[in-house]
């Protein structure tokens, strides 16, 4: 079947900084057109963005796809998680959206955690202990600081919900994105009325949760978009669930995402809540679960160390005894929010390249610790039991040789780097294709071969480096700023 007559689908990735659109052949997975348009984020005390510009960016990105987008039979929108979008009676935003990385609600979130009975109660009920990023704390902060905006709000949405609703005219969300709010409970697969009462949020303001494989609606007559009226609209999902879908993940396959922050996750058929709050028990977009842990310091922190040393990011050297924990913005895993970076073991013979390698080692060590928690076991034990199962390495750092070699050396696992780009938008496209074919969306992605890529064979564990970092981390918590 040629592109001229194959059904086309559109996958949208509405992220913090931009909107990306892929038009994909639903049969082969070939990307036949793409577009991208930027967003702006406020740089003041909080992190906010006007949802209207997401809609404009969607229009601009689709316009770059030419006539291909007009021929699409289905569309799905994936978006940044946790953002709070408040709409008035006219359907317009009451105020700019509070984004996932707006930390002003931290105190309100902590208060809500205690009022329900503490972290264990939240983990067992919701599946996650709300972090400052979760939407429930943002609503509490808004109630306290902007009561007029709350009074004017007639609908509460997440970023991907907002775009989907503008397409269809119907207020919907999906379980993956809802699971990052704090008011959708894994234990009941639905909104928790007691938690909504605790947060003083009327359930009538919330969107309907559309199940996996269901149709959220159809595209309305929208002159500013190239879609035909009646084009199918999928439920959409949060960005991490979309990336997992875009890889066609099978349960148990671990993913390391190397971005500004680092994220580790794996699809699980059953949810095991983590009362420490380190692992978030998110739902995936299919009906399974997506336990996920995040480290704050990844590529941005290591690149900062390289810049301080005046080195290219690949200019690492082996050897040396230095330990560098690049916790430049505090750290989430391990839980050291008040931490700063720490250098220990410096000697006369230490070279700049060895210091840079130590920064990579410190960042990857934290990622592997987080992965061990996601998989429910010590990472070295999990590697020993699954030595033939590769880690999927994605994100901006995944193609960096220094990142690849460090992950191999400290994990003892093979590493696979998928060739596919824009996995969030590809996951959305796979969901849209599933509406047309009746297939499971992850099976669509596997049929497209989205995770295919070179596999780098495992190397022996660098036990000396692992033990050196473990010792420093154990003894240096007071120097790092503790857990405050």
* Catalytic machinery residues: 239
What is the SS3 assignment for 32?
strand
The kind and range of the H/E element at 258 are strand 255-258
Contact in structure between 11 and 426 (CB atoms under 8 Å): yes
Q: How far apart are CA 135 and CA 114, in angstroms?
A: 17
| Max CA distance (Å), the chain | 70
Contact in structure between 62 and 219 (CB atoms under 8 Å): no
Residue that has been written with the tokens 């780098």 in this structure: 456
Q: How far apart are CA 328 and CA 18, in angstroms?
A: 25
Contact in structure between 55 and 14 (CB atoms under 8 Å): no
Cα dihedral: 24, 11, 164, 189 (round 10): 120
Angle between helices 401-411 and 352-375 in degrees, nearest 10: 60
98 forms beta bridges with 48, 84
Q: What is the DSSP letter of 84?
A: B
49 forms beta bridges with 97
């Amino acid at each position: 079947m040629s592109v001229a007559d194959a059904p086309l689908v559109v996958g949208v990735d509405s992220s913090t900084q931009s909107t990306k659109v892929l038009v994909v052949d639903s049969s082969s997975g070939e990307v036949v057109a793409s577009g991208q348009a930027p967003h702006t984020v406020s740089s003041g005390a909080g992190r906010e963005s006007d949802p209207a510009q997401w809609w404009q960016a969607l229009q601009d990105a689709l316009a770059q796809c030419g006539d291909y987008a007009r021929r699409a039979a289905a569309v799905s929108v994936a978006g940044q998680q946790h953002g709070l979008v408040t709409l008035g009676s006219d359907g317009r935003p009451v105020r700019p959206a509070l984004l996932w990385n707006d930390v002003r609600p931290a105190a309100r979130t902590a208060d809500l955690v205690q009022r329900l009975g503490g972290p264990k109660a939240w983990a067992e009920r919701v599946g996650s202990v709300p972090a400052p990023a979760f939407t429930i704390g943002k609503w509490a902060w808004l109630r306290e600081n902007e009561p007029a905006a709350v009074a004017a709000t007639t609908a509460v949405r997440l970023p991907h919900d907002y775009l989907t609703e503008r397409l269809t005219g119907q207020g919907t969300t999906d379980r993956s994105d809802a699971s990052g709010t704090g008011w959708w409970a894994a234990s009941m697969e639905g909104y928790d009325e007691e938690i909504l009462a605790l947060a003083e949020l009327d359930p009538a303001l919330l969107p309907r949760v559309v199940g996996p494989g269901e149709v959220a609606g159809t595209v309305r007559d929208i002159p500013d978009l190239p879609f035909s009226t009646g084009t199918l609209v999928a439920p959409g999902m949060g960005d991490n669930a979309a990336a997992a879908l875009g890889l066609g993940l099978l349960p148990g396959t671990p993913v390391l995402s190397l971005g500004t922050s680092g994220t580790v996750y794996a699809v699980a058929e059953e949810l095991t809540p983590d009362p420490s709050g380190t692992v978030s028990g998110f739902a995936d977009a299919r009906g399974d679960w997506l336990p996920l842990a995040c480290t704050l310091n990844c590529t941005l922190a290591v690149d900062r160390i390289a810049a301080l040393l005046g080195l290219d990011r690949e200019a690492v050297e082996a050897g040396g005894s230095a330990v560098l924990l690049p916790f430049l913005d505090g750290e989430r895993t391990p839980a050291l929010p008040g931490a700063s970076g720490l250098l220990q073991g410096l000697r006369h013979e230490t070279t700049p390249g060895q210091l840079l390698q130590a920064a990579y080692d410190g960042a990857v060590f934290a990622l592997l610790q987080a992965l061990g928690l996601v998989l429910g076991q010590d990472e070295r034990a999990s590697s020993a039991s699954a030595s033939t199962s590769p880690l999927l390495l994605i994100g901006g750092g995944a193609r960096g040789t220094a990142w690849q070699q460090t992950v191999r050396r400290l994990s003892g696992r093979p590493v696979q780097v998928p060739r596919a780009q824009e996995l969030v938008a590809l996951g959305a496209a796979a969901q849209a294709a599933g509406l047309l074919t009746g297939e499971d969306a992850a099976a669509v992605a596997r049929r497209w071969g989205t995770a295919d890529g070179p596999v780098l064979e495992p190397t022996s564990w660098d036990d000396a480096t692992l033990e050196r970092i473990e010792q420093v981390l154990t003894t240096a918590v007071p120097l790092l700023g503790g857990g405050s």
